[in-house]
Structure 1
C-alpha cells in the first residue's frame, strides 16, 4: 500500500515559503490571503498542529474552530505560522480571550 500525505507541488510551495521567511522580512504580499486564527493553541496529534477560531479560510466558515495541518514554521513575535497547506496570521493565544 502507498500513501501520499502531501503532493510535490504543495511541498515545493512549503519549502519556498520557509526559505523566504528565513531570509527576508515578512511582507504584506506573503500574508495577503492568510486566514486569521484567534484564540489559537498548539495541538499534538501525531504531529504539531494549530487550532483556533478562523476568519478568512477558503473552506471553513468564519467563526468556526478549525484544526490545521502540520506546522512547519512558527514565529510568535511576527504572529504567523506556516502549515503544510497555508500561512496563518495569529491573534490571541487560547486562554487570553478576555484580556
Structure 2
C-alpha cells in the first residue's frame, strides 16, 4: 500500500468509526445540508454508494448539485448521512419530490423511480435492505483489509 493509499484507507476507517458513534450535536450544527438527495450506486469494479443532491452550507462548494464521496452510513430517521469526507444533514429526499411532482401530474400512486434519473456511471438505489447490505459489506471489507495490513 502506498503512503497515499494508506492515508485514504485510514480516512475511510476513521469515517466508519465516526458513523458508528453517530454525529454529535455540534458536528451536525456545522454540517452541510443535502436536499433532493438520492442514493446512487456505481457497481464498477465493485459496489460503491454515494449521495447525489443539492448541497447548501458546504465549506468548499457552497450551494450546488453534488455527488458526495463514498457513502459510509445513512440514518434516515435521525436525518444524517456520513460520507468518507464529512457528515451531511438530510433534507427532503428526491423520492418526496418525485411523489409531489407525480401527484401534480395526476399520478397519485407513483412509486420512487418513476422519474427517469440518469447520472452516467450510476443508478439510483431505492431498496433500503439492499442499501444496508452494501454498506455493511463495504465496512466488513474495509476492516478485513485493515486487519491484513495492521491498520485499525
User: Common fold, TM-score beyond 0.5?
Assistant: yes
DSSP-derived class of the 1:53 partner:
strand
Residue number in structure 2 paired with 1:67: 67
Residue number in structure 1 paired with 2:32: 35
Structure with higher strand content: 1
DSSP-derived class of the 1:14 partner:
helix
DSSP-derived class of the 1:6 partner:
helix
Per-residue CA distance 1:14-69 (angstroms, 9 max, x = gap): 13312312xxxx5421312210000000111240000000001111131x100001
Q: Which runs of 4+ in 1 moved over 3 A?
A: none
The gaps in structure 1 that reach 5 residues or longer are none
Residue number in structure 1 paired with 2:87: 87
Structure with higher helix content: 2
Q: Which has the higher contact order (CA 8 A, sep 6+)?
A: 1
Q: What displacement does 1:80 show? A: 0.5
Q: TM-score, normalised by structure 1?
A: 0.78
Residue number in structure 1 paired with 2:53: 52
Root-mean-square deviation (Å): 2.4
Q: TM-score, normalised by structure 2?
A: 0.53
Question: How far apart in 2 are the matches of 1:58 and 1:40?
Answer: 18
